[in-house]
Chain A
Amino acid sequence: MSLRSKDLTGLKDLSTDDINLIIETAAGFKDVLGRDIKKVPALRGRTTVNLFYEPSTRTRTSFELAAKRLSTDVINVSVSTSSVVKGETLKDTARTIEALGADFIVVRHACSGAAHFLADNLGSSVINAGDGTNEHPTQALLDIFTIKEKKGSVAGLKVAIVGDILHSRVAKSNIYGLTKLGAEIKLIGPPTLVPLCFGDLGPSVYYDMDEGLKDADIVMTLRIQSERQGKGFFPSTDEYFKNWGLTSKRLLKAKEDVMVMHPGPMNRGVEISSDVADGERSVILEQVTNGLAVRMAVLYLLSGAKQ
């Protein structure tokens, strides 16, 4: 079985069947990760290039490890994107890397559509590791995998996503993916960061945290980037925490067996309180482990999709 496309640019264009295939395949890889020898020879001789135009530790490390555990060779290319010094174009850089024989190009870029652009211009498999404010498909896939693992199924679950929806590629990918699998999504946050038109994508929009959390099976909190504060999206992180911070008291509004997720890195005391982050409802660390399994599954399934 393989994915229909040679690339993974987002969940918007991924079929439900393909999402399920990735999730099911990831289960097999999670077995591998539980062993003493956590490496399989499946993709021996292949080359993975992590092309990162934005600093990232978690995602890059996760992709690197996933690629290594499939026995591909991995090269990390970090490009600083100074708009002052105009360097090589994205296309030229990527084509150079492809000419070196890269089978997989994992790209993170500040511009929305960058992965899409490379996918159109390259023969290698392009995997989107986050493009601007567009999508971060593997993060959403690992979230879905975690939800399925814990809750059995996604259909019918109430998923509350809290925070900076406007700028969040994680939220976008989750909205697309979870909606396809039949979840009911509630978006919660300040009006400046949750434009009403998100409702046109399917979810309902709440400004009142308590109201939005009602009966939620899952609460996903998003990282609040401190630079948003100065841009007038909200007056201060203190005020943000007061209105939209996830505390154990607020969590009582949700279902008793609610599961708390966060894509990391967390700002404790801004979007989530420490007792919730470290509490028994939190699966935040398991998300990280599952991320490896999901990324292995994606690499493996894309390797068969040539032509």
Chain B
Amino acid sequence: MNILVKNAKVIDPSQGTDGICDITIENGKIKEVRKSGGAEARKKTNADVRTSAYAGFEVIDAEGLLVVPGLVDMHVHLREPGFEYKETIRTGTEAAVRGGITTVCCMPNTKPVNDNAGITEFIINRAAREGACSVYPVGAITKGQKGEELAEFSIMHDAGCIAFSDDGRPVMDSLLMRRALEYSKILKALIISHCEDLSLAAGGVMNEGLVSVTLGLRGIPPQAEEIMVSRDIALAELTGGRLHIAHVSTAGSVEIIRAAKKRGVADITAETCPHYFHITEEVAAGYNTFARVNPPLRTRADVEAIRQGLSDNTLDVIATDHAPHHMDEKTVEFDNAPSGISGLETSLGLSMKLVEEGVLSLSQLIEKMTLNPARILGLLSGGTKGTLRPGADADLVVVNTKDEYRVDPGGFRSKGKNSPFDGWTLKARPAITISNGRIFRWE
């Protein structure tokens, strides 16, 4: 199907585009993004539509709306196979598209763990059949995510794994982490690190501090994350491997990454998530299990540091760490509740608040949700994701940035309704998402 998106305010950091444009899509690829600002150009487009230059085109009038490349979320738990009651590839990708996300990387902590080509192929095939958007599996670093032996990077890479991570668990053994960063160089593959020193975390369930003390909950000090961020950066320096730090949550981590980048450590990148730049440990008051997430929500000072880190580009990427859970699993004692927030459908709205609050420019924000993750994942070099360049996959999102709406997890496409942002008022909601040339329309 051919599509014309006309009169849109287009922002595409990959080409430095920022202006009113018409976008044409043919055969599932971007054909052209053409400036249409000014009365002349607009008149011509309208005339062309009438005179059937665009015969057979689905015409979308995006006047007054923002259009950006489809968002790339490099940190998502789709739960399939094994935990289909929490989420499936179908519901997870539908949720992604509802949130304006057209590319997701799914973490390997499924059942069985995605530590072999068979599971990788299963995910890719299932996604091709039922997925609403592009799915790139992340393979496990170690077999069974047990932190003992390396998984078959090369075979899994051939099967379609785009990166490797034991997400949900750290690789506690420093030697093994060294080997992973070293060995992955044959593939130039990205190692995504979940930074948590388990012995220091000591079974904690939230940030350590006055709030954890008053709730009587075991705390995790920020140093449990920072020690591992330091270690992994040191190992990246030692090996020259490609390291990406997942879900950065503390001021200390931001500082360590900033210093490493300044020092010129070859290949380190880092991401954070909306909950780390909006909410704090206080949300756990009253034993709110929706605020249980790993790494835990921190303090106001950490939130400010994360924002600063995004602003000065210490943090390259905004991902969701979308971690859907069944309501029954969260309706338990805080200690027994699983960690995670259902984030795909609030990510854009929450992130756009940073623009409203003056933390990031709009193009800087879009860069962290499109261009940067695509580049880190190697999806940009082929020009396929995170960009509106001609020939790229026809992924884009048309955003209504004017109307406010209230977050209602009950209405999520995701099976996971576990959101601490219930009732928040947000702007910026996808009105239309085009994913691989397929149009999803809500307003």
Q: Nearest A residue to B202 by beta-carbon distance? A: A231
Task: Using known A-B contacts A201-B213, A201-B214, determine if residue A112 contacts B334 with beta carbons closer than 8 Å.
Answer: yes
Residues of A within 8 A of B173 (CB): none
Which one of B177-185, B325-333, B427-435 contacts A?
B325-333
Nearest CB on A from B200, distance (A): 12
Q: Nearest A residue to B287 by beta-carbon distance? A: A113
Nearest CB on B from A171, distance (A): 11
Question: Are B215's CB and A134's CB within 8 A?
Answer: yes
Residues of B within 8 A of A134 (CB): 215-217
Q: Which of B195-213 contact A (CB under 8 A)?
A: 209-210, 213
Most buried by B among A89, A112, A131, A133: A112
CA distance A144 to B328 in the complex (A): 39
A135 interface residue per 8 A CB criterion: yes
Q: Nearest B residue to A83 by beta-carbon distance? A: B336
Question: Are A133's CB and B287's CB within 8 A?
Answer: no
B286 interface residue per 8 A CB criterion: yes
Residues of B within 8 A of A89 (CB): 328, 331-332
Question: Are B331's CB and A131's CB within 8 A?
Answer: no
Question: Are A135's CB and B332's CB within 8 A?
Answer: no
CA distance A112 to B335 in the complex (A): 7
Most buried by A among B209, B213, B332: B213
Nearest CB on A from B337, distance (A): 10
Question: Are A113's CB and B210's CB within 8 A?
Answer: no
Task: Using known A-B contacts A113-B287, A117-B287, determine if residue A198 contacts B213 with beta carbons closer than 8 Å.
Answer: yes
Contact with B along A105-124 (1 / 0, CB 8 A): 00001111110110001000
Task: Using known A-B contacts A197-B209, A200-B210, A201-B210, determine if residue A113 contacts B216 with beta carbons closer than 8 Å.
Answer: yes
Residues of A within 8 A of B333 (CB): 90, 109, 111-114, 117
Nearest CB on B from A147, distance (A): 23
Residues of A within 8 A of B210 (CB): 197, 200-201
Tally of B interface residues using CB under 8 Å = 17
Residues of B within 8 A of A281 (CB): none
CA distance A169 to B213 in the complex (A): 10
Task: Using known A-B contacts A116-B286, A116-B287, A197-B209, determine if residue A111 contacts B336 with beta carbons closer than 8 Å.
Answer: yes
Residues of B within 8 A of A113 (CB): 215-217, 287, 333-335
Residues of A within 8 A of B334 (CB): 111-113, 117
A295 interface residue per 8 A CB criterion: no
Question: Are B216's CB and A195's CB within 8 A?
Answer: no
Residues of B within 8 A of A169 (CB): 216
Residues of B within 8 A of A90 (CB): 332-333
Residues of B within 8 A of A135 (CB): 216
Nearest CB on A from B334, distance (A): 5
CA distance A112 to B206 in the complex (A): 12
Nearest CB on A from B198, distance (A): 15
Contact with A along B283-294 (1 / 0, CB 8 A): 000110000000
Most buried by B among A90, A110, A111, A132: A111
Q: Which of B61-87 contact A (CB under 8 A)?
A: none
Nearest CB on B from A203, distance (A): 12
How many A-B pairs fall under 8 Å by CB? 60
Residues of A within 8 A of B331 (CB): 89, 91, 121
Question: Are B335's CB and A111's CB within 8 A?
Answer: yes
Residues of A within 8 A of B213 (CB): 166, 195, 197-198, 201
Nearest CB on B from A88, distance (A): 11
Q: Which of B285-322 contact A (CB under 8 A)?
A: 286-287
Residues of B within 8 A of A121 (CB): 331
Q: Nearest B residue to A165 by beta-carbon distance? A: B213
Question: Are B287's CB and A132's CB within 8 A?
Answer: no
Residues of A within 8 A of B336 (CB): 111
Residues of B within 8 A of A111 (CB): 333-336
Q: Nearest B residue to A200 by beta-carbon distance? A: B210
Q: Nearest A residue to B334 by beta-carbon distance? A: A113
Contact with B along A160-181 (1 / 0, CB 8 A): 0000001001001000000000
Task: Using known A-B contacts A113-B287, A116-B287, determine if residue A12 contacts B214 with beta carbons closer than 8 Å.
Answer: yes
Contact with B along A230-262 (1 / 0, CB 8 A): 000000000000000000000000000000000
Most buried by A among B214, B286, B335: B214
CA distance A114 to B336 in the complex (A): 10
Q: Which of B253-288 contact A (CB under 8 A)?
A: 286-287
Residues of B within 8 A of A112 (CB): 215-217, 287, 333-335
Residues of B within 8 A of A110 (CB): 335
Residues of B within 8 A of A12 (CB): 214
Nearest CB on A from B59, distance (A): 52
Task: Using known A-B contacts A197-B209, A201-B210, determine if residue A132 contacts B332 with beta carbons closer than 8 Å.
Answer: no
Most buried by B among A90, A113, A169: A113
Nearest CB on A from B138, distance (A): 29
Contact with A along B402-416 (1 / 0, CB 8 A): 000000000000000
CA distance A123 to B300 in the complex (A): 36
CA distance A133 to B204 in the complex (A): 13
CA distance A112 to B203 in the complex (A): 14
CA distance A134 to B328 in the complex (A): 24
Residues of B within 8 A of A91 (CB): 331-332
Nearest CB on A from B314, distance (A): 28
Residues of B within 8 A of A198 (CB): 213
CA distance A132 to B218 in the complex (A): 10
CA distance A134 to B334 in the complex (A): 12
CA distance A198 to B214 in the complex (A): 9
Task: Using known A-B contacts A113-B333, A114-B333, determine if residue A132 contacts B216 with beta carbons closer than 8 Å.
Answer: yes
CA distance A117 to B335 in the complex (A): 12
Q: List 13 A-B contacts (CB under 8 A).
A: A12-B214, A90-B333, A91-B331, A111-B336, A113-B215, A113-B216, A113-B287, A117-B332, A132-B217, A133-B216, A134-B215, A195-B213, A200-B210
* A residues whose Cβ falls under 8 Å from a Cβ of B: 12, 89-91, 109-114, 116-117, 121, 131-135, 166, 169, 172, 195, 197-198, 200-201
* With A112-B216, A112-B335, A113-B215 already in contact, 15 other A-B pairs whose C-beta atoms are closer than 8 Å: A89-B328, A89-B332, A111-B334, A112-B215, A112-B287, A113-B217, A114-B333, A116-B286, A117-B332, A117-B334, A132-B217, A133-B217, A166-B213, A172-B216, A201-B214
